Amino acid sequence: MRSVTEHAAAIAALVTARPEQETTLAAAHGRVLARDVIAPRSLPGFDNSAMDGYAVRATDIAGASAANPVTLPVEADIPAGRTDIPQHHAGTAHRIMTGAALPPGADSVIPVERTDGGTTTVRITASTDPGQHIRRNGEDIAKGEIALARGSTLRAPQLGLLAALGYATVPVIPPIRVMVLSTGSELVAPGQALRPGEIYESNSIMLASAAREAGAVAAQLRFVSDDTGDFLATLRAHADDADVFLTSGGVSAGAYEVVKDSLADRGVEFVKVAMQPGMPQGSGTFEGTPIITLPGNPVSALISFEVFVRPALRAAMGYARTGREVVAATLAEDIRSPLGKRQFRRGVLDRATGTVRTIGPPASHYLRWLASSDCLVDIPAATEAIPAGQAVEVWDLSRP
């Protein structure tokens, strides 16, 4: 039997990064930056007004107050976006808007609220200091500085910064393309009629969704035949669209195990992992494409994904955090666990009290309990029982 750690390492070695890709900012959301990005210009790009008001020289309105206002001629309007920036002359004001370039010669902006708002002359009822209400060229970021470091995950603020710097595209580590393939002749696509003995196919949407949540892109295929030739032909037909094949089902000890029968002597190793659920596993490379074969029981499939596939995908996509956040929590009830197997129990974590309770029995077909849980309780292989009140490690599934 392989340990969870050993199998996780095998899967991690299998999934490798795709070459970096220059991507539009819209398509870069959620991706990881492949290289440092240098500021090609400063931000702000020029001295500009932080207020709607009047660009003045502080000395021209020294001592101004409500009781002792100063009136200056207004030379011109400078709305944001005006590109022919006028010169400021001593003893005058320019009406200026937020974001507009400061006219050379002016040293401060007096907000409109401190004036009568005049357009030919302006009565100013407060004094100012040089530099007041001016946003200086380069005070946010100077040209040539590293704006974002390689490895940054691109979300709203990072994409905003890149756009402000003028980047239309950015080099990112592209998503891994996961081809999810469910196998089993009992499986029928949701929405169609069921005959006796058939069930709705639920693993592929679950695994595809989990892959997307991990930052990958995913497509689904359903393979129902027991014919190994057809199965291999299906893999070959989709090899160009997949960086990783992810199958579920057909890997245990039964008579119709199409995944195992097709791949056992074709570069895929089938092993038993000392965990529960998720004991039967397989991994390898089929004609150049990595393939991970998960067990068919739905809970086993999803927990195997969490434990083995998700960290490998995220590492290959450059994310700093590959595993879930592990928190220590106090167990709310006694639990038992099979000796020699690392058990992952579905749980509900109460962050406020730092307690966790398990939800549903350990068996691997209980989808409802799985859907009601928000964490996994990680019980070490050497543990047979844990009493209520003891601290356990919990994987928080509610956070990326």
Ligand X SMILES: Nc1nc2c(c(=O)[nH]1)N[C@H]1C(S)=C(S)[C@@H](COP(=O)(O)OP(=O)(O)OC[C@H]3O[C@@H](n4cnc5c(N)ncnc54)[C@H](O)[C@@H]3O)O[C@H]1N2
Binding site residues, ligand X, CB under 6 A: 182, 184, 186-187, 199, 201-204, 248-254, 257, 277, 279-280, 295-298, 300, 364
- Alpha-helical regions (H) of 82-239: 156-164, 203-213, 228-238
**In the complex, what is the shortest distance from the CB of residue 194 to ligand X, in angstroms, rounded to a whole number?**
12
Q: In terms of Cα–Cα distance, which of 107, 104, 97, 99 is closest to 131? A: 107
Nearer to ligand X, 290 or 298 (CB): 298
Least gap, CB of 365 to ligand X (angstroms): 6
What are the Cα distances from residue 173, in Å, to 13, 170, 230, 314? 17, 10, 34, 11
Interacting partner of 153 out of ligand MOO, ligand X, none (Cβ under 5 to 8 A depending on kind):
none
Nearest to 283 by CA among 1, 2, 10, 5: 10
Q: Which residues contact 117 (CB under 8 A, 6 or more apart)?
A: none
Nearest approach, Cβ of 370 to ligand X (angstroms)? 12
Q: Is 384 exposed, middle or buried (0-12, 13-18, 19+ CB in 10 A)?
A: exposed
Question: Closest separation between CB of residue 287 and ligand X, Å?
Answer: 22
Nearer to ligand X, 47 or 257 (CB): 257
3-state secondary structure of 236: helix
d(CA 277, CA 360): 13
Residue closer to ligand X, measured from CB, 88 or 260: 260
Residue 108 contact partner, candidates ligand X, ligand MOO, none, CB within 5 to 8 A by sort of partner: none
Indicate the residue among 1 and 80 with the shorter CB distance to ligand MOO.
Answer: 1
Sheet holding 217-223, edge to edge: 217-223, 177-183, 244-248, 289-294, 280-286, 268-272
Measured from each CB, the residue nearest to ligand X is: 296
Cβ 314 to ligand MOO, closest distance in Å?
A: 22
H or E stretch at 311: helix 310-316
Is residue 54 a contact partner of residue 95, using CB atoms and an 8 Å limit?
Answer: yes
Instruction: Tell me how far, at minimum, the Cβ of 198 lies from ligand X, in Å.
Output: 9
| Residue with smaller CB distance to ligand MOO, 158 or 297 | 297
By beta-carbon proximity to ligand X, the closer residue of 182 and 289 is 182
Q: Please say which residue, 184 or 215, places its beta carbon nearer to ligand MOO.
A: 184
Interface with ligand MOO in residues 243-302 (CB under 6 A): 276-279, 295, 297, 300
Tokens of 271: 């092993």
Sign of CA dihedral 84, 90, 93, 99: positive
* Cα Rg, the chain, nearest whole Å: 31
**What's the min distance (Å) between Cβ of 292 and ligand X?**
12
Nearer to ligand MOO, 137 or 297 (CB): 297
> Least distance in Å: CB of 253 to ligand X?
4
Residues interacting with ligand MOO, by CB under 6 A?
276-279, 295, 297, 300, 364
